[in-house]
Amino acid sequence: MTNFIKVPKLEADKARNALMEHNLYLKGIKTQNDKEFVYFPVIKKGFKTKELKKYKVVTKKSKEYSTTKSFRDILVDDLHIKDYIASYDTVGGIAILKMTPEMKKKEKELTHLFLQNNPTIKTLVKKASEHHGKYRLEDVKYLAGKKTLKTQVKESGCIFNIELGKMFFSPRLSFERERLAQKVKDGSTIGVFFAGVGPFSIVIAKKNPNCKIYSIELNREAHKCAKENLAQNKIKNVRVVCADVAKYAQKIKDLCDYIIMPLPKTSDLFLESAYTAIKKKPEGQITLYKFVPKASLYKDLINELKLFAKKKKKKLKVIFKREVRDYNPKIVQIVIDFKFV
Ligand SMILES: C[S@@+](CC[C@H](N)C(=O)[O-])C[C@H]1O[C@@H](n2cnc3c(N)ncnc32)[C@H](O)[C@@H]1O
């Protein structure tokens, strides 16, 4: 039996970060889930930490990971690295390591130990750039394992084919896709702007087979993959379009009950396009993702939306908002669901 902290799913990312930060996460034990809560294994029964003391700790049967060592243990115990950031993302069978200068000096040994301790990882790469350019691509460099940047990601009962370096994909938005899939009314028309390889469109379409979804993406490579992904998941109610949303919005004028805008760097620059495509009567709902400073959080974006509403002689109605994930120590990604009424 193990102690688990019981956290509502919406707060899972924040709680996990706080547990890591305060060294309270119990390594080697699998996290558990039910419909509403995530259960993180913890080393104590109660916490004084501000972010964690509101959560209950429960005792449950636990399962151990088959891996022998955590990434942090490899870095600290085996490689004696002090300047570590125990951070990597997995995308399907590929792990992307973030390397500090000290980690780079021990790259060969680290590569070997990582693959040995993570049998589900087939390819190991290192992050070579931040996401950049209009296609939001991330450069990666091959380190070891199977020599491919193509992989398949399983999420919410769907499968996505992707190729790292040529298109954007983030597993960290899976909760948001699930949230929206449960929130939209089946039978509605949905515009997924900045759709990438189709994860938002496909997860929503699968749960809502009577919706009609326009999935709009500018990057030809991502668009090609999105088409394959529709076929692979046997989805019939999504139309994938390779276009600039600023132009395509005119073609779906006043048609959408929902618009989803997952381009957190600049999505607010496309508000005019969302306004063009959204239904005015009854008013449709727009979901917008944005990177914002932690210090001001929702304030500036809400002011910007209010100003936009005023220009259209409307009012802003915020329906839901939350912090999605930390982007860096000063920047957080937020989401706001809203209407112009
Ligand atoms: C942050 S990614 C999100 C992709 C996808 N929704 C996901 O969650 O994996 C943003 C995507 O918007 C696309 N994009 C950027 N500007 C665009 C535009 N003006 N019209 C259509 N797509 C655009 C990029 O190519 C990129 O694939």
pLDDT tens figures, 139-164: 999 999 999 999 999 999 999 999 99
For ligand 1, atom 11, the nearest C-alpha belongs to 194
DSSP class of residue 237 equals: S
264 Cα nearest atom in ligand 1: 1
Q: CB-based burial of residue 203 (10 Å sphere; 0-12 exposed, 13-18 middle, 19+ buried)?
A: buried
Query: So what's the pLDDT on residue 117?
Result: 84
C-alpha distance across the termini of the chain, in Å: 52
Query: So what's the pLDDT on residue 68?
Result: 63
CATH code for the part of the protein at 170-340: 3.40.50.150
- The candidate with the shortest Cα–Cα distance to 87, out of 277, 326, 278, 288, is 326
What is the spatial distance between Cα 74 and Cα 111, in angstroms, rounded to a whole number? 10
- Residues 45 and 3: beta-carbon distance below 8 Å: yes
2-60, CATH topology level: Alpha-Beta Plaits (3.30.70)
- The candidate with the shortest Cα–Cα distance to 200, out of 224, 222, 179, is 179
216 Cα nearest atom in ligand 1: 21
pLDDT tens figures, 27-78: 778 889 888 999 998 987 777 788 888 999 999 988 776 556 788 888 888 8
pLDDT tens figures, 207-244: 999 999 999 999 999 999 999 999 999 999 999 999 99
b vs e for 118-136, b when ≥16 Cβ sit within 10 Å of the residue's Cβ? beebebbbbbeeeeeeebb
For ligand 1, atom 5, the nearest C-alpha belongs to 196
Query: So what's the pLDDT on residue 118?
Result: 85
| HSE-up of residue 191 (Cα within 13 Å, Cβ side) | 30
Four-residue CA torsion sign, 78, 79, 84, 89: negative
- Strand-pair category, 212-217 with 238-242: parallel
The CATH homologous superfamily for domain 71-148 is Met-10+ protein-like domains (3.30.300.110)
248 Cα nearest atom in ligand 1: 20
* Percent of the chain residues topping a pLDDT of 90: 70
What is the spatial distance between Cα 122 and Cα 94, in angstroms, rounded to a whole number? 6
What is the spatial distance between Cα 167 and Cα 140, in angstroms, rounded to a whole number? 12
Our answer on whether the CB atom of 244 is closer than 6 Å to any ligand 1 atom is yes
Contacting residues for 179 by C-beta, under 8 A, at least 6 apart:
none
Question: What are the residue boundaries of the structural domains of the chain, listed by start?
Answer: 2-60, 71-148, 170-340
Our answer on whether the CB atom of 216 is closer than 6 Å to any ligand 1 atom is yes
- Residues 338 and 286: beta-carbon distance below 8 Å: yes
pLDDT tens figures, 102-112: 899 999 889 98
Our CA angle for 219, 325, 52, nearest 5°, is 165
CA of 125 to the centre of ligand 1 (A): 23
- Residues 198 and 240: beta-carbon distance below 8 Å: yes
DSSP class of residue 306 equals: H
